[in-house]
Structure 1
Amino acid sequence: MAAPVEETDYDYESLPPNFSLAANMLAGAFAGIAEHSVMYPVDLLKTRMQIINPSPTALYSGLSNAMVTITRVEGFRTLWKGLSSVVLGAGPAHAVYFATYEAVKHAAGGNRGGKEEHHPFAAALSGASATIASDALMNPFDVVKQRMQLQGSVYKTIGQCARDVFRREGFTAFYVSYPTTLCMTVPFTATQFVAYESLSKAINPTGKYDPYTHCTAGALAGGVAAGITTPLDVIKTLLQTRGTAADPELRNARGLWEAASIIRRRDGYRGFFRGLKPRIITTMPSTAICWSAYEMAKAFFIARNEA
């Protein structure tokens, strides 16, 4: 009779001491590219719905109507326009994101006490630190992405778009939205990480690798965080696309408060929630994919380390 195979009981939540930075960053890059690529068409719709004073042909009555209209008028490939900018930026940005997350979480004591312990402060701090680092890298790519997503965009490649933005508006155009982005993504990420860690502990108290847990907790955490931070996302879109606006007031918006004032004056408080539905629809599966992909890659590296 064959001897029973002994199950390796590693602490999944805590990375092994020799878990390399490169492996951690590779897991994060894999997660980032998977997250942004799958839901990209809905993200494009969200950007268009958040634009102030769009052209008459860019007024959509709903998500399905928008998909059909864009496909019929502009072609199916338009739904993926600008994706290369996301892929190029998301890999390195998410690599930095998760590497920072794990480092700060460990330094803040988030891995102390084993699977039974819950550290919401460490989760929030690590999430906020991760997004500050990754957004500094990702912001220019996000600007290029949104410029290419707009109706009537003449840009064929991300290089052409980046050069044109730099020539017309200077280097600051790539970072004019960075403070607003941080105002949005820091609370978004802190909320998401706390919710994710809390839901994961509640659904899966053992802390073992469980795809169902990571997918469910990631989706719910992302949906909550997306709904709360939508007003700041609308402001960010205005700032990142201001260079394409014909309206002088929109074109010269210089920061968060000025952009918020324009939105409030023109559309009222409802204007801050334009694109709420596609934002949540995009974020829930995106964060589910992101966390699932990251935890899968992390589990693979940890299991290989144990072997």
Structure 2
Amino acid sequence: MASEDAMSKTTGESAVSTIVNLAEEAKLASEGVKAPSHALLSICKSLIAGGVAGGVSRSAVAPLERLKILLQVQNPHSIKYNGTIQGLKYIWRTEGIRGMFKGNGTNCARIVPNSAVKFFSYEQASNGILWLHRRQSGNEEAQLTPLLRLGAGACAGIIAMSATYPMDMVRGRLTVQTENSPRQYRGIFHALSTVFREEGPRALYRGWLPSVIGVIPYVGLNFAVYESLKDWLIQTKPFGLAENSELSVTTRLACGAAAGTVGQTVAYPLDVIRRRMQMVGWKDASSVLTADGKSKAPLEYTGMVDAFRKTVRHEGFGALYKGLVPNSVKVVPSIAIAFVTYEVVKDVLGVEMRISD
């Protein structure tokens, strides 16, 4: 009997052990199935949040965005736009409400995927850099420094810029053209196909180098300043701005505004050069028409350095900052709205991780 009891006990324990093992294996298998699905859903939500943030922020400042480009590329011998207020009034008087938002559809078609890729790339790059930082330092509690955030932001900016650059190129041309321009692009895809056919595939990436060089300090500083400023406010809690380790929407908007101001001031000359290089080869651009409507031969640039040299020689150093005022007025709310919209949409969609985490 004792032997039978022992065998029965052993058999029972074996059965229980087998059932437990099977249950654990089933649980692991279930988690294995759910994990990729959950990860994919989280990625989609993050991309949606970034896209919405880009579309909302850019549409809010579309008139200023168009004026900035017009100021950057206008012919110095035929000045039409003398400043922010005068420029906006001139566009309103000559082109109406549609003129204020000309090119915004193309702009949003570019900025939505650009913003989605940028925010998502920043999250992934910051996670990867933080992992390497903790391994190298041997400190599992180490956090991202402002310099590391700058690196993560630079990586995100380069990836997003490269992925959507042809859209930015044709957006610039659609924004500049007027009813008096002999060449009329009918839309995004018509512009893309026309440039590709008449100027070659390389034309779609004309000005890419100064764009990439400019995006490193621009996007890098945007993320670094925004995240570092938020961390500082949460840790020090000056003037009671941070309550329970949370910042109000107004305070986060202020952080975004500061980040945008710093980033665009440093990178702005490269943005001017990029825009001018994009116009090379487009002899029907409105910026190369004189006041009487006659065509004036535009400057040709052999590269980024040549564009810098010719711009400064023919128009002075100040030409590198043409359109800075409307761009500053545009960037302050645009970057602020983008950061805050991104975090709010992620909260609404139920994404656990914010860019600060």
TM-score by length of 1: 0.85
The residue number in structure 2 matching 1:225 is 263
Residue 145, structure 1, aligned to residue 171, structure 2 = yes
Secondary structure of the structure 2 residue equivalent to 1:290:
helix
> Percent identity between the aligned chains?
29
1:87-146 alpha-carbon deviations (Å, 9 max, x no partner): 212222221111111011111118989999552133112101111110012211111111
Q: What's the offset of the Cα at 1:181?
A: 0.3
- Structure 1: gaps of 5 or more residues: 1-16
Do the aligned residues in 1 keep the contact of 2:46 with 2:351 (CA within 8 Å)? no
Q: 1:199 aligns with which of 226, 229, 252?
A: 229
- In the alignment, structure 1 residue 255 sits paired with structure 2 residue 293: no
Instruction: Call closer, same or farther: CA 1:173–1:207 in 2, change over 3 Å.
Output: farther
Pairs within 5 Å for 1:268-279: 268-279=316-327
TM-score, with normalisation over the residues of structure 2? 0.74
Distance in 2 (alpha carbons) for counterparts of 1:52 and 1:83:
19
Residues in 1 aligned to 2:173 and 2:332: alpha-carbon distance in whole angstroms: 24
Does the CA contact (< 8 Å) of 1:127 and 1:190 recur in 2? yes
Mapped pair 1:28 → 2:58: no
SS at match of 1:223: helix
Q: Is the 8 A contact 1:235 1:259 kept in 2?
A: yes
Q: Deviations over 1:144-197 (max 9, x none)?
A: 111011142522322222222222211111111111101111111111211111
Which stretch of structure 1 is more off in the superposition, 145-154 or 225-234? 145-154
Q: CA deviation at 1:238?
A: 0.4
Q: Is 1:291 aligned to residue 339 of structure 2?
A: yes
- Whether 1:127 aligns to 2:153 is yes
Residue matched to 1:3: none
Q: How does 1:1-307 map to 2 (within 5 A)?
A: 20-53=42-75, 56=78, 58-109=79-130, 117=143, 119-152=145-178, 153=181, 154-205=184-235, 207-208=245-246, 210-245=248-283, 250=299, 252-302=300-350
CA deviations 1:260-292 (Å, max 9, x no partner) are 111011012111111111111111111011001
Please, what is the CA RMSD of the aligned residues?
A: 2.6
What is the distance in 2 between the residues matched to 1:23 and 1:127? 20
Question: Which of the pair has more CA radius of gyration?
Answer: 2
Report SS of the residue matched to 1:36.
Answer: helix
Contact 1:82–1:144 (CA under 8 A) maintained in structure 2 = no
Aligned residue pairs: how many?
287
Aligned residue number for residue 6 of structure 1: none
Give me the whole-angstrom Cα distance separating, in 1, the residues matched to 2:168 and 2:190: 15
C-alpha displacement of 1:248? 5.0
Summarize the Cα distance change of 1:283–1:116 in structure 2 as closer, same or farther, 3 Å threshold. farther
Please, which runs of 5 or more residues in structure 2 have no aligned partner?
Answer: 1-37, 236-243, 289-295
For 1:213 and 1:281, locate their aligned partners in 2 and report how far apart those are by CA, in whole Å: 18
Distance, in Å, in 1 between the alignment partners of 2:340 and 2:155 is: 21
- How far did residue 303 of structure 1 move? 6.6
The answer on whether the counterparts of 1:217 and 1:288 sit within 8 Å (CA) in structure 2 is: yes
Confirm or deny: 8 A CA contact 1:118 1:198 kept in the other structure: no
2:308 maps to a residue whose letter is: A
